[in-house]
């Protein structure tokens, strides 16, 4: 009985620990600066969108938002297609070739991005590709290949062989098999992988920081990082930036929870 | 036509990108580690193992290595214990429990920059909510300069990392717990096993694979915590929160010693490989199935 109450208390306490900081941030975003300095913990006297207006006036927020959407959507789509094809090749190759391909990509799982950020940076400088969103997409796709190939080929292995062979007897080529049979069968898993990759790419700071410097090309996390320099004394405005950049992801999460959670589950088992 | 030739259109694009933007940089990294390149000038010299000697004697590198291990230990301990305690109560599929799991998971979808700013604000010594709260409940002596005091800053950041990732570990533990056959627990209960012996004799051994995954994932994450440290402290005060990845970034882009940064990356990779190898062994040998 006592243990039951204690564990309920623990659950509630942790829920409060997650919610309280987020609530304080949202509340602060609705306060004026003088209000905030007078009492950092109070509720705003009136809920105004003053900070939101100031943020959108002072920053090309829509451009940041568009950059993030473009980079994330293109990266995730390309990632699923390219890694999906590699995983398919691994599934259909002979034992040796499949083993070699798989080992080559899986080895990359051990190399954190921070290990090769320096040579990657100089390679892109040499190619004259600095400050390009296309380069950012290509690099992002390449760096996530080990994880995605691992996740997708792990799943494709569970597909029933007979189904693929049945298609072949009917004269279906590899493309037809991939598009008509493998991808549809993988659909829920592709969605979970996409959700997992979406979070990683949308929130990434390192590669945008290495590759992007023009103000018109910033993605949301990078722009947010730069707000600190500009709004150093203005917590309400800075936290409005946090709310605005986090909101789209939170909304997506609320609606697509299932995929986020199953993606994270599969991703952590493999990653 | 050979099988692998026919499949070439499927693996070639991926392999090309991977070779160009992953394998090639990783290999050239080794090469740069033997040079005195500053990252800017077109020419550089081969200097043998000088960088290796310099980095291994660098006090800041030592500090970042020790900090990284402290950071890892703090997160491993707090994240694993708390998420396990929570997960034990969250295995059922009722509406409230699913909602609770989703709530705990929520910080995972926020960017580290957002999480970093949220907690920089909460931790702020004069305007932050944490000290204000402590004062209100009469614990003002507990108030700290959370990120400004070099003795505790690394643990303050570790707490934030744990805050953001416990939900993810809960999901992993819940999946592990749900895979334990109900009949096993039921029959043990009928045999008169108490709550604690039930946990230590049955649940825990069967949970070992999930626990191994949580541990290895948490470890790797603690080495990848660049975004959070960079946002919250930038490695300060006095290098007290410098970890390996911020050290590498700093020696490349703040002191313009690319050669040294590449050398530190080699050490970093070696360390990660050793840890991954050890944990891989652990994961394999700990696998218990009934």
What pLDDT, in 10s, does the model give residues B233-246? 888 788 889 999 89
What pLDDT, in 10s, does the model give residues B128-180? 888 888 888 888 778 788 888 888 899 999 999 999 999 999 998 998 888 88
Res B285 pLDDT > 70: no
Nearest by Cα to B275 from A91, A184, A112, A169: A112
With an 8 Å Cβ cutoff, is A179 touching chain B? no
Residue A265 to residue B172, Cβ atoms within 8 A? yes
The reply to whether B268 falls in a domain is: yes
Residue A145 to residue B39, Cβ atoms within 8 A? no
Residue B32 to residue A24, Cβ atoms within 8 A? no
Residue B269 to residue A111, Cβ atoms within 8 A? yes
pLDDT at A82: 95
Q: From the CA of A107, how many Å to the nearest CA of chain B?
A: 10
Name every residue whose Cβ is closer than 8 Å to that of residue B39 and which is 6 or more positions away in sequence: A118, A121, A122, B252, B253, B256, B257, B258
pLDDT class for B116, splitting at 50, 70, 90? very high
- Tell me the residue range of the domain where B266 lies: 68-285
The reply to whether B123 falls in a domain is: yes
Instruction: Give the nearest partner residue to B273 out of A110, A113, A265, using CB atoms.
Output: A110
Res B42 pLDDT > 80: no
**Backbone phi, psi, residue B4, to 5°:** -70, -25
Res B216 pLDDT > 90: no
Res B264 pLDDT > 50: yes
pLDDT at B284: 58
The token pair that represents A34 in the structure block:
């003088």
* Residue, of A13 and B198, whose pLDDT is higher: A13
pLDDT at A41: 78
Q: Are A101 and A90 in contact (CB under 8 A)?
A: yes
The token pair that represents B68 in the structure block:
């990284």
Residue B172 to residue A268, Cβ atoms within 8 A? yes
Chain A partners within 8 Å of B132 (Cβ): 40-41
Nearest by Cα to B125 from B165, B96, B156: B156
Res B56 pLDDT > 90: no
Residue A119 to residue B25, Cβ atoms within 8 A? yes
pLDDT at A270: 53
Mean pLDDT for the stretch of residues B38-60: 83
Residue A7 to residue B89, Cβ atoms within 8 A? yes
Prior bond to A23 cis, omega within 30?
no
The reply to whether B22 falls in a domain is: no
Residue A114 to residue B258, Cβ atoms within 8 A? no
With an 8 Å Cβ cutoff, is A115 touching chain B? yes
> Which residue's structure tokens are 């986090």?
A246
pLDDT at A86: 93
The reply to whether B196 falls in a domain is: yes
The reply to whether B166 falls in a domain is: yes
The reply to whether B227 falls in a domain is: yes
With an 8 Å Cβ cutoff, is A226 touching chain B? no
With an 8 Å Cβ cutoff, is A33 touching chain B? no
**Backbone phi, psi, residue B35, to 5°:** -120, 170
Interatomic CA distance for residues A49 and B33, integer angstroms: 52
The class that CATH gives domain A62-270 is: mainly alpha
Q: Are B219 and B69 in contact (CB under 8 A)?
A: no
For chain A, give every residue range classified as CATH 1.10.3720.10: 62-270
Q: How many CA atoms lie within 13 A of A229 on its CB side?
A: 4
The reply to whether B107 falls in a domain is: yes
Average pLDDT of chain B, as a whole number:
86
Number of domains in chain B: 1
Interatomic CA distance for residues A187 and A200, integer angstroms: 20
Instruction: Give the nearest partner residue to A18 out of B17, B103, B262, using CB atoms.
Output: B103
Mean pLDDT for the stretch of residues B45-55: 84
The pTM assigned to this predicted structure is: 0.87
Q: Let me know if B138 is exposed, middle or buried by CB neighbors in 10 A (0-12, 13-18, 19+).
A: exposed
A–B CB contacts, 8 A cutoff, strictly below: 264
pLDDT class for B287, splitting at 50, 70, 90? very low
The reply to whether B132 falls in a domain is: yes
Q: Which residues of chain A have pLDDT under 50?
A: 271
Average pLDDT of chain A, as a whole number:
86
Domain CATH number, residue B270: 1.10.3720.10
What pLDDT, in 10s, does the model give residues B62-105? 999 999 999 999 999 999 999 999 998 888 888 888 999 999 99
pLDDT at B70: 93
Q: From the CA of A28, how many Å to the nearest CA of chain B?
A: 10
Q: Are A115 and B269 in contact (CB under 8 A)?
A: yes
């Amino acid at each position: 009985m006592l243990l039951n109450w204690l564990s309920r208390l623990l659950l509630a306490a942790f829920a409060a620990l997650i919610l309280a900081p987020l609530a304080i941030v949202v509340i602060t975003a609705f306060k004026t600066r003088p209000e905030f300095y007078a009492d950092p913990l109070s509720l705003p006297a009136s809920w105004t969108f003053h900070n939101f207006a100031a943020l959108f006036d002072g920053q090309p927020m829509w451009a940041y938002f568009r950059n993030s959407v473009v980079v994330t959507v293109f990266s995730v789509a390309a990632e699923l297609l390219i890694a999906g094809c590699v995983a398919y090749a691994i599934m259909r190759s002979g034992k040796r070739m499949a083993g070699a391909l798989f080992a080559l990509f899986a080895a990359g799982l051990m190399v954190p991005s921070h290990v090769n950020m320096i040579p990657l940076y100089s390679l892109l400088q040499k190619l004259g590709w600095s400050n390009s969103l296309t380069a950012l997409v290509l690099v992002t796709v390449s760096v996530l290949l080990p994880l995605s190939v691992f996740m997708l080929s792990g799943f494709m292995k569970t597909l029933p062989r007979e189904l693929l062979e049945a298609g072949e007897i009917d004269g279906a080529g590899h493309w037809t098999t991939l598009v008509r049979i493998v991808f549809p069968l993988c659909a829920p898993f592709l969605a979970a992988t996409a959700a997992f990759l979406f979070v990683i790419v949308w929130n990434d700071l390192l590669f945008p920081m290495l590759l992007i410097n023009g103000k018109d090309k910033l993605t949301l996390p990078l722009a947010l990082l730069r707000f600190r320099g500009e709004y150093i004394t203005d917590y309400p405005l800075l936290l409005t930036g946090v709310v605005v950049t986090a909101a789209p992801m939170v909304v997506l999460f609320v609606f697509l929870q299932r995929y986020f959670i199953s993606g994270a589950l599969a991703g952590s088992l493999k990653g | 036509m050979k099988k692998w030739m026919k499949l070439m259109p499927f693996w070639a694009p991926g392999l090309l990108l991977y070779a160009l933007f992953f394998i090639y940089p990783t290999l050239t990294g080794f090469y740069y580690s033997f040079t005195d390149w500053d990252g800017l000038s077109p020419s550089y010299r081969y200097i043998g193992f000088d960088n290796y000697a310099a980095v291994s004697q660098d006090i800041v590198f030592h500090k970042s290595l020790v900090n990284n291990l402290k950071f890892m230990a703090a997160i491993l301990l707090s994240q694993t214990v708390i998420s396990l305690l929570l997960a034990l109560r969250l295995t059922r599929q009722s509406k409230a429990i699913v909602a609770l799991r989703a709530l705990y998971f929520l910080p995972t979808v926020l960017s580290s920059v957002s999480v970093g700013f949220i907690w920089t604000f909460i931790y702020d010594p004069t305007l932050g909510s944490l000290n204000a709260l402590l004062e209100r409940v009469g614990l003002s002596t507990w108030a700290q300069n959370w990120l400004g005091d070099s003795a505790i800053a690394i643990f303050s950041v570790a707490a934030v990392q744990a805050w953001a990732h416990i939900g993810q570990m809960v999901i992993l533990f819940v999946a592990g717990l749900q895979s334990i056959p109900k009949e096993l627990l039921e029959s043990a209960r009928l045999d008169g096993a108490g709550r604690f012996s039930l946990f230590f004799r049955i649940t825990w051994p069967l949970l070992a694979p999930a626990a191994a995954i949580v541990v290895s994932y948490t470890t790797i994450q603690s080495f990848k915590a660049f975004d959070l440290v960079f946002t919250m402290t930038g490695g300060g005060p006095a290098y007290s929160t410098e970890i390996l990845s911020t050290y590498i970034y700093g020696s490349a882009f703040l002191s313009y010693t690319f050669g040294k940064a590449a050398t530190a990356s080699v050490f970093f990779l070696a360390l990660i490989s050793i840890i991954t190898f050890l944990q891989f062994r652990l994961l394999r040998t700990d696998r218990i199935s009934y």
